Structure 1
């Protein structure tokens, strides 16, 4: 969309940013993550830089108001701070790391989940121009400019936490306005694709959901492509463009992270965990595990448990 970019007033931007940071800091005092009473809104705080962490990021907007973070998807790095937000258009396996954080100036951010149904309704109502033709083969993870308008909207949303009685009435309206502003931004084409039935993005999203539910099964690309009504070549091309991974790599990521959870939470040994997530060879599992997490399974789990005990003792 060839829209004129609104003029930015640094003083107003800083006032809004500081006000939002103050409220997030108050709500997250003593906690790294707070799930709020507003559906889909989570607040985050880190007092020191964090280690890289593998996680699945769902469709959402991540707005940083203090400090800086980076996300790694495939071979791409997305750095975001108070001037840039991160937008995920579908479920994606990323590595997240807070890189600017200090006890006197902690990393502060919020994440708001996107609602495909609300966005689809807005597409019909607002009729944004030429959205369908703009979303080509681009990654499902995008950076956008944080504007004064976005800060205003999110500040009003977070302010609602001090008025619990108003949340059920006003929060849905505010969330919808945020989605509308995103839809009309430079990232709007990707959101249109996410919400449009039959779009390539939505078909890949359906494939990702299938993989999440069936990661331990043998993956047949032709069958999965047929399941989402795409040719194998087109499916593979779009899947890699949106996720920066092949379907097999995506499945491997899911398997290895699930195995890590099983070893940590249920005390399974590496061999048992590998079989449970679909591996036929424990040695292959160990090699691939080490490449992803930087250490073989047993040592990695021991290090994680030791770190958890150290954190609990603080």
Structure 2
């Protein structure tokens, strides 16, 4: 696997310190010391592969670490905080990611037999050991950056192979569940979608449970298993992330932003913002704004 990683590092070396598009649909890469404050975000469903260095990602109270010996799978939209580290030998952090498209996963599932026993439902994110077969598919995908005329014809096949290799792995059930109607994960995702698009509205867990066609106790248990957060904690993280985006954009003070994202108390907003991001709203916004400008 060393030769595969070496080639992938060469191919991805053009990546920048932020999400860098490759020209291949749904495939992106990143390199370097990404500031910690820039890695607090709502992460979309994806397969993320570290090529160099390592990364820690925290969702709720769960923190997972992964490196070039492992890959990360996230099957649902989750507010998370990431931290990246260079390799022990000093080379910068380097990673590639494939954003998951449930439609493509669904078409692939129609062509392969379902495993016995059904879903081993556990969480909405996890880490697994990388395999030579998975790396091989990734190498061929990244080679397309050097042959852009081949992307339209070959990228869909390589994407299917990457997904197939993940489906064959210990967390393949995550991909199955996001593309299969009426699984617990699919039903919880309906509630998550509502929270993400109505984050400023009061949340009634009873209404979310009805949306997911579950009892309140079952819904709460599944939601916590998938996201490592309660529904109210999930909403709070979404509100804070939206608030940060508004503050960095400028034009509004912390109080107006607090009320705009659904807080009833500016003091509570400032306290929870500082706890999550490590700095009070105004100071954090200035820091991130300057980092974006390269100052």
Q: Does 1:16 align with 2:1?
A: no
Partner of 2:36: 51
- In terms of mean alpha carbon deviation, does 33-42 or 240-249 score higher? 33-42
* Match runs of 1:71-90 below 5 Å: 71-90=57-76
Query: Any residues of structure 2 matched to 1:21-40 within 5 Å, and which?
Result: 21-25=9-13, 27-28=14-15, 31-40=17-26
Instruction: Give how far 1:233 is off.
Output: 1.3
Match of 1:10 in 2: none
Name the Cα RMSD after superposition: 1.8
Gap regions ≥5 residues in structure 1? 1-12
Residue 245 (str. 1) matches residue 233 (str. 2)? no
Distance (whole Å) between structure 1 residues aligned to residue 266 and residue 3 of structure 2: 55
- Greater shift, 118-127 or 203-212, is seen at 118-127
How big is the shift at 1:104?
Answer: 5.7
Instruction: Name stretches of at least 5 consecutive residues in structure 2 with no aligned partner.
Output: none
* Aligned residue in 2 for 1:126: 112
SS of the counterpart of 1:286? helix
Scaled by the length of structure 2, the TM-score of the pair is 0.94
Question: Aligned partners of 2:52 and 2:117: how far apart in 1?
Answer: 32
* Paired residues of 2:18 and 2:34 also in contact (CA < 8 A): no
Q: Deviations over 1:179-215 (max 9, x none)?
A: 1111111111222112110110011112111111100
Per-residue CA distance 1:67-101 (angstroms, 9 max, x = gap): 11111111111111110001001111111111225
1:308 Cα deviation from its structure 2 partner: 4.3
Determine the C-alpha separation between the residues in 1 that align with 2:76 and 2:181. 14
Which residue of structure 1 aligns with residue 260 of structure 2? 276
Shift of 1:19: 0.6
Q: Residues 271 and 282 of structure 1 are in contact (CA less than 8 Å); yes or no, is this contact kept in structure 2?
A: yes
Residue equivalent to 2:238: 254
Q: TM-score under structure 1 normalisation?
A: 0.88
Separation (CA, whole Å) in 1 of partners of 2:261 and 2:100: 29
Task: Please tell me whether the aligned partners of residues 131 and 188 of structure 1 are also in contact (alpha carbons under 8 angstroms).
Answer: no
Contact 1:128–1:184 (Cα < 8 Å) also in 2: no
How many residue pairs match? The answer is: 294
Residue deviations 1:91-119 (CA, integer Å, cap 9, x gap): 11111111225896111110001121222
Q: In the alignment, is the contact (CA less than 8 A) between 1:49 and 1:102 conserved in 2?
A: no
Deviates more, 1:97-106 or 1:253-262: 97-106
- The residue that corresponds to 2:28 in the other structure is 42
